[in-house]
A and B are shown apart, each in its own frame.
Chain A
Amino acid sequence: GAGVSQSPSNKVTEKGKDVELRCDPISGHTALYWYRQSLGQGLEFLIYFQGNSAPDKSGLPSDRFSAERTGGSVSTLTIQRTQQEDSAVYLCASSEGWGQGYEQYFGPGTRLTVT
């Protein structure tokens, strides 16, 4: 079956512009996660969803970052007024549930470059 997909695969934007990153999880997966991978910070958690609700938003770096999930499926990560430090690969993952033993399946990522 289809894996996690993300779009776009690459995004170059000018500082100050808003961007939207999309994630399509594996069908039937109830949990969805966003991570960011950058050279200086490694892999860091941003937010996760149980269904359409986000119990933990503690990883979002600032109030410029927001995410939503609709219909228990597609999720969008929005970054407003992008800054150069937002440049990174944004990874989405999904799992059948949450807790012990639920493997998180990752998508290919969106490489964001802010110029």
Chain B
Amino acid sequence: AQKITQTQPGMFVQEKEAVTLDCTYDTSDPSYGLFWYKQPSSGEMIFLIYQGSYDQQNATEGRYSLNFQKARKSANLVISASQLGDSAMYFCAMIPIQGAQKLVFGQGTRLTINP
């Protein structure tokens, strides 16, 4: 079984600062994918970034980067130069490459960007 742990229920950051959202995972699957999703107050889940377990390089997507440390089973999201519009819930999730294709989500981190 897979498990995702997000230890930060809430974070407050000043605008333009960088922020790291923590995510650790546990799985017995030999290969898997890791995702980060953003959920603003409107409720829709917005894909941010993906990391495959066998990817050699850390994923980046614009201001988002994923600090993937496989040995430590961590997949932290880094947002550079935060903006007010980044205020939202952020979910880390994982999916096995084989077997049941279901995303397993963490409990989420509520990020608030202060002006």
Contact = CB atoms under 8 A, between A and B. Distances in A.
Nearest to B108: A42
For the residues of B in contact with A, the DSSP-based class is loop
A108 B101 contact: no
A52 to B, nearest CB: 15
How many A residues are at the interface, by size bracket? 20 to 34
B102 A105 contact: no
Interface in A77-115: 89, 91, 93, 98-101, 103-109, 111
A48 B103 CA distance: 10
Interface of B: 31, 33, 35, 37, 42-47, 50, 52, 91, 93, 97-98, 100-108
- Which of B31, B37, B45, B104 is most buried by chain A, counting CB atoms within 10 A of its CB? B45
A43 B89 CA distance: 12
Contacts of A44: 105
A35 interface: yes
Interface of A: 31, 33, 35, 42-45, 48, 50, 55-56, 58-59, 89, 91, 93, 98-101, 103-109, 111
7 contacts: A33-B103, A43-B108, A56-B101, A99-B97, A101-B33, A101-B50, A104-B47
B43 A33 contact: no
B42 A108 contact: yes
The 9 A-B pairs with the shortest beta carbon distances in the complex, nearest first, are A106-B45, A45-B102, A43-B105, A98-B101, A56-B100, A100-B97, A103-B47, A108-B44, A42-B107
B16 to A, nearest CB: 28
Nearest to B44: A108
A56 B102 contact: yes
